[in-house]
């Protein structure tokens, strides 16, 4: 992911598109960067919703994130499963919620 573009894609997202051998991307770098931008923007938008949902319902952080995961993993979701999981983990990170993956 090292070219002239100024957007730095974090290793956690690059890993979604890295071959099992760990040395090459399974999609062009520009595609990975574009997918990252979509997922990062979505995580920021959904973080606000997650925070509001927790406040309104008094649900636990984990419960709110599980609901987010369910919505993002649905058949109508434009995100593949690994991206959906990354977005949920990113939401937790943005909110400072200490929730273990899986």
CA triple 84-87-92, angle to 5 deg: 130
Q: Quote the pLDDT of residue 6.
A: 75
Q: Quote the pLDDT of residue 69.
A: 93
Q: 25 - beta bridge partners?
A: 18
Domain ranges of the chain: 11-95
In this structure, are residues 35 and 80 in contact, taking their beta carbons and an 8 Å threshold?
Answer: no
- How far apart, in whole angstroms, are the C-alpha atoms of residue 46 and residue 38? 12
Q: Quote the pLDDT of residue 86.
A: 96
Distance between alpha carbon 95 and the CA centroid of its chain, in Å? Answer: 13
More confident call, 93 vs 6: 93
- How far apart, in whole angstroms, are the C-alpha atoms of residue 72 and residue 83? 9
Helix ranges restricted to H, the chain: 11-14, 29-57, 61-72, 81-95
Q: What is the mean pLDDT of residues 86-101?
A: 89
100 pLDDT higher than 70: no
CA triple 83-88-91, angle to 5 deg: 125
pTM for the complete prediction?
0.86
């Amino acid at each position: 992911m090292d070219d002239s573009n100024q957007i730095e894609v974090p290793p956690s997202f690059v890993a979604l598109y890295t071959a099992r051998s760990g040395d090459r991307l399974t999609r062009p770098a520009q595609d990975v960067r574009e997918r990252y931008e979509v997922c990062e923007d979505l995580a920021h938008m959904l973080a606000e919703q997650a925070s509001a949902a927790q406040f309104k319902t008094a649900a636990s952080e984990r419960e709110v994130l599980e609901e987010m995961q369910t919505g993002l993993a649905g058949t109508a979701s434009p995100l593949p499963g690994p991206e959906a999981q990354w977005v949920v983990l990113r939401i937790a990170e943005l909110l400072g919620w200490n929730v273990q993956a899986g």
